[in-house]
Structure formats: structure tokens, C-alpha cells
Amino acid sequence: MKVLVVGGGGREHALVWKVSQSPRVKKIYAAPGNAGMAQLAECVPIKADDIAGLVAFASSKAVDLTIVGPEGPLSMGIVDEFQKKGLRVFGPAKNAAEIEANKAFTKDLMKKYHIPTAEYGTFTDRAEAEAYVRSKGAPIVVKAAGLAAGKGVVVAETVEEAVNALDLIMNKKVFGEAGDVVVVEECLRGEEASFMAFTDGKTVIPMASSQDHKRVFDADKGPNTGGMGAYSPAPVVTKQIEKQVMEKVMNPTVRAMEKEGRLFKGILYAGLMIHNGEARVLEFNARFGDPETQPVMARLDSDLIEIIESILDGKLALAPVKWKADSAVCVVMASGGYPGGYEKGKEIRGLDKAASLRNVMVFHSGTAFKDGKVVTDGGRVLGVTGFGPSVAAAIDTAYAGVREISFEGAHYRRDIGARALETGT
């Protein structure tokens, strides 16, 4: 079969890598892809949010299955448009993707169906939002309700900081219309984890647990990023927590979406805060996490294509979903300056050497070809992923890969996975 993967980041490279191992797949396209994916797929220069262009391409090439990586096209209704043309596509429809694209909708859904989350208010009026912030006090969290590329959340330690955030989001409109509605919520403390699951809208099967590292510097210092690394399994997600999350979060949410006439087929990702053995939902995503997908796909033993097809056919309950017992750790190498401004076009050296190491996979995020060389082309550049019998072994392997690679300004965290060691695996 012919498969099209939509997106151009590390998550999509990991998906292309996994899909390429399926005996049923003969040809892979990636749109727009990157220099890493180009080794396994034919990259076509169509942007991930050019839905009309993607529909036309998939029709003209008789693509059998399209897998959508990023939230942007999902929230714009790429799945609905493909389906209108009779094209098979993996991901939630627009009205189901709203679980990520509209935080106000999702908070109300969780309240209505008693899904554990932080106490909150939603506001379109700046004065009312400020009055709520002042009545609750700090710390408090201010969120633009719409999509803001992971930047629309401010965890405010003081009331002034929260009021400032309201000003930026509601008056200065720094996130555009994503800030038309604001969610203000209780600040939760604890350990975060990413809980991703496959669902066909009825059956929910959890993926291996994972955790990402959002802050740019070691020991969780500095500003938030799209994710500086991730590891799987995450020991904070014990068997007992997994059971609790399935019973109190994942199954009720999937049932709630069905009841609301928004059948959710695809990947449901709950961002969790775990404290004293209780998990609460920080957010839902309607897609695979990036960079969590890199270590999680490294551990998936089953054929991803078979799982996806069973979801599309509403038969996930019959699909084999098996995980390798080994651990995986992904270390992100970023451009100098990221998550602030950075330059592109720096030559990347040592990629082949790193990839030739045993149990190392080098997933590309922001890379491109220039004059026959692989160069940096984004903030997050590479996700060097190590695989091994323990988290400690996977950490060593991933950093052995990182040490082979260099580009001007490269920076990465030195402590990816360290938290898993503290919790004891």
C-alpha cells in the first residue's frame, strides 16, 4: 500500500520509520517531510496545512492511507475533507479535534462528565477574568483557549504575572483569535506525564507511558519549549495510575465525545499532573506527542499500520498492540537561541556515524538539504533516540549518539531521563 504522512517534524519521522517496517507498505510519501524522512519516504513540497493541496496529491497518487501528525490540519478539518473524497485518513474529525483546539470546550466537557481536572473559569471579558484571578490569588494558570503552538499557557506565580498574561492574550492579542476566550485555572502541583492512547471511538488501548521535558535547560530551568526530550516508560505512571487514568479519564472522555456527537477516532493524548497517587488532566491533545512519539514508536512491537486500519474499521478491540520491554530515551538537539530566535542553515556533521551506532535512531525535526548537505532548518533540529534494556542504558546510548553530532550553536539538555532514574527503574 501507499502511505502519506502529513507533517515535517521528529514525530512524523518516527511515524515514517515505524510505518516503513510494515510488510504491507510499498511506498511512503511525506508532506512536507524533512531531510531525515527523505531516506525512507519521497518528500513532497506541500505544507501540512494546505489541505486542498494534500487532498489533490493523495487523489492523484492513489494513496491508500494518510496519517496526520500535527494538530493544525486536524483542527482545520483535514480528516473531513479527505473523507468527502473517499480517501482513507487517520485522525479525528474536526469536531473531535476540538478537544485540543478549544480548551474552553474541553474544560466544560470534563466538568459535565466528571473527569478530574483543575478548577477553572472561562472568560471573554478582560475585567471579569481579572476579577476572577484576584479572587483566587496566585499561583494561577492563564491559557488562551485556542491553538497557540504550545505557547498559550502562562503558569503565573504572582497575581501581577497573571494579570499581565491576560493583557497580552486578551488586549494585545499576541496569539490572535486563539485568545478570544481565556481559561483561568487552579495551579496543580505534582509530576507530569503524557498518556497517549489509540481509540476507534469505543475501544481505548493505552500506549506505553512516556514523559517529556518541556523546559529548555537542565533541572527544568528556563522557558518552556515544544519539548527537549522524552523517555518511555515513565515510572510515575504505575500500573495503578494507568488503571485509574483508563477508568476515570480515557474511557469516560471517549464515551463523552461519542455522546456529544463527536466520535473520536485517532490518538487521544492526555497531559496529566500526578500528585499523591491521583491523576488530573491538564490538557488533551488530538494527536501523537512530539517528542514522546520518538521513544514510544521505538518501543512498539506491533505493526502500526494494522493498528491504524483496525481503528478506521472500528475494530480496535481485535488489534494486537504489543510493546517491547526495553526503554527508549530521545534527546533533542536544538538550534542556538531556541526557544527564542535562531539562525537556520548550519551544516550538521556526524549524522551517519551516530545512526550507525547500535540501538541509536536519529529522528530529524528541523532539517533540510542545502548544496547536498544536511543543514538545520528549525528550532528543534534532531531527536537522537537510544534504546536499551533499562532507562539508564537507553540514556547512555542516546548520549553516545548525541556526542557524534555537531552543528554551530547546538544545545541540548544533559539530564533527559534522569527523573526516571530517581523514581527508580
- Owner of C-alpha cell 472568560: 123
The residue at minimum Cβ distance from ligand AMP is 283
* Binders in 209-248 for ligand GLY, by CB under 6 A: 212, 227
* Chain centroid to CA 207: 13
Residues present in the chain in total = 425
DSSP class per residue in 183-238: EEEEPP-SEEEEEEEEESSS-EEEPPPBEE--EEEGGGEEEE-S-SEEEES-TTS-
192 binds, among ligand AMP, ligand GLY, none (CB under 5 to 8 A by kind): ligand AMP
Contact between 405 and ligand AMP per CB under 6 A: no
User: Least Å distance between CB 42 and ligand GLY?
Assistant: 26
Alpha carbon separation from 67 to 28, 70, 78, 145, 149 (Å, rounded): 11, 10, 11, 26, 20
Count the Cβ atoms, other than its own, within 10 Å of residue 261. Answer: 8
Q: How far is the CB of 75 from ligand GLY (least distance, A)?
A: 13
Applying CB under 6 A, does 203 fall inside the site for ligand GLY? no
Q: Give me the phi and psi of 285, to 5 degrees please.
A: -115, 155
Contact predicate 361/395, CB 8 Å: no
Instruction: Rule CB under 6 A: say whether 283 interacts with ligand AMP.
Output: yes
Q: Is the dihedral of CA 315, 317, 320, 326 positive or negative?
A: positive
- Beta carbon of residue 209, minimum distance to ligand GLY (angstroms, whole number): 14
Residues 167-206 contacting ligand AMP, CB under 6 A? 185-188, 192
Cα–Cα dist 323/40, whole Å: 23
Q: Does 290 engage in binding with ligand GLY (CB under 6 A)?
A: yes
Taking the complex as a whole, the smallest distance from the CB of residue 186 to ligand AMP amounts, in Å, to 6
Q: Which residue is nearest to ligand GLY (CB)?
A: 289
Q: Which stretch binds ligand GLY (CB under 6 A): 111-119, 285-293, 311-319, 383-391?
A: 285-293
**Taking contact as CB under 6 A, which single stretch among the options 90-98, 231-239, 283-291, 401-409 is the one that binds ligand GLY?**
283-291
Q: Rounded to whole angstroms, how far apart are CA atoms 267 and 69?
A: 10
Which among ligand GLY, ligand AMP, none contacts residue 218 (Cβ within 5 to 8 A by kind)?
none
What is the pattern of x (binds ligand AMP, CB under 6 A) and - over residues 104-123? --------------x-----
Member of 121, 289, 339, 383 binding ligand GLY (CB under 6 A): 289
**153 touching ligand AMP, by CB under 6 A:** yes
| Helix residue ranges per DSSP H, 34-158 | 51-60, 71-76, 78-84, 94-101, 103-112, 126-136
Q: What CA–CA distance (Å, rounded) separates 40 from 14?
A: 11
Give dist(CA 152, CA 175) in Å, integer.
7
- 138 in contact with ligand AMP (CB under 6 A): no
Give the shortest CB-103-to-ligand AMP separation in angstroms. Answer: 7
295 contact partners, CB below 8 Å, separation of at least 6: 210, 230, 231, 232, 327, 328, 329, 330, 385, 394
Minimum distance, C-beta of residue 174 to ligand GLY, in the bound complex (Å): 19
Site string for ligand GLY, 91-130 (x = CB under 6 A): ----------------------------------------
Contact residues: ligand AMP, CB under 6 A: 118, 141, 143, 153, 155, 185-188, 192, 214, 271, 282-283
